[in-house]
Chains A and B, each alone.
Chain A
């Protein structure tokens, strides 16, 4: 009985802490303006990064060398994106009013992924320049 209660409360707090933690990671990238190069490589035409581009961004991130330490951020944001996508599937018919909130969250994840890709592209270019200079 007590174990069941502890389990239920822990799952609820886990969700809340994980959502807030992921948001704190995403919020760091919100003010970041994407470079023209990154926009071109990602195939971004509009102002904002769309939710549909997340998977493509993930694939592009995997292709770029890691500047060190942002792999954890990518995995956390991807986990959060999948969690919110699951909520989108489960809640879209039950609570339609939650749809804009879910879309905003997924959009935030996509933007955070684009910022990571931007950083990795800049790092790759820097490495390439260093190699050509030597």
Chain B
């Protein structure tokens, strides 16, 4: 049974995703940041789906558990598409977007394969374990990919503020989720996960809304100012 706090979190999550989507559309970011819009639409759809599964099957049911983790894995795959677009933006002048796409797809397939192998090799062979393991590994690979992208941006002295903030906010989001999934694997009974995941889920839409509202498309910032102390 869900309490008032859960309902507030569900509603707030839905509201921030819709706000971010409206903001991106109003700022005419459809063509340039199509995958961001795709991710937001998918997240909204997943949110609605989770609510309906919750109403029909119940919060503690296996159906909800499966839906939650598999939809989460699909949302993370959507984030991979966002990352690929960001890679393409950063390496746009080098003309290596095809290689980037191919590499990311290979990595995605590899992560799913490794996760399955790790669980299949264990004694319990529980499919629920696989889906949690897959989520943790997908987020972690996302962290590594974002870290590589940020490293490349620093090396190439990328100075587009918007791009920088989108990449860094994704790094924060993926690190938060990878860390909490890993800790959740170690201590699954902690009640904090129940509230923490919906809160972390709001980070990306909130930070993107801020970036698109407050940072103009032509804003530039020296990478050194982000890496070194501010004064």
Binding site for B on A (CB under 8 A): 2-4, 6-7, 9-11, 13-14, 16-18, 20-21, 23-28, 30, 48, 68-70, 72-73, 101, 104-105, 107-108, 111
Contact = CB atoms under 8 A, between A and B. Distances in A.
Binding site of A, secondary structure by majority: helix, strand, loop or mixed? helix
Interface residues of B, number: 39
Contact of A69 (B136, B161, B213, B227): B213
Contact of A13 (B147, B164, B182, B210): B147
Contact of B209 (A20, A48, A69): A69
A30 B219 CA distance: 14
B161 A18 contact: no
Binding site of B, secondary structure by majority: helix, strand, loop or mixed? helix
B229 A104 contact: yes
A72 B210 contact: yes
Contact of B172 (A17, A68, A70, A72): A17
B226 to A, nearest CB: 5
B229 to A, nearest CB: 4
Contact of A27 (B146, B171, B176, B230): B230
A68 B213 CA distance: 9
27 contacts: A3-B136, A3-B183, A7-B182, A7-B186, A9-B178, A10-B140, A10-B176, A10-B182, A13-B143, A14-B175, A14-B179, A16-B171, A17-B168, A17-B171, A20-B226, A21-B169, A23-B225, A23-B226, A24-B226, A27-B221, A27-B226, A48-B231, A69-B209, A69-B210, A104-B231, A108-B230, A108-B231
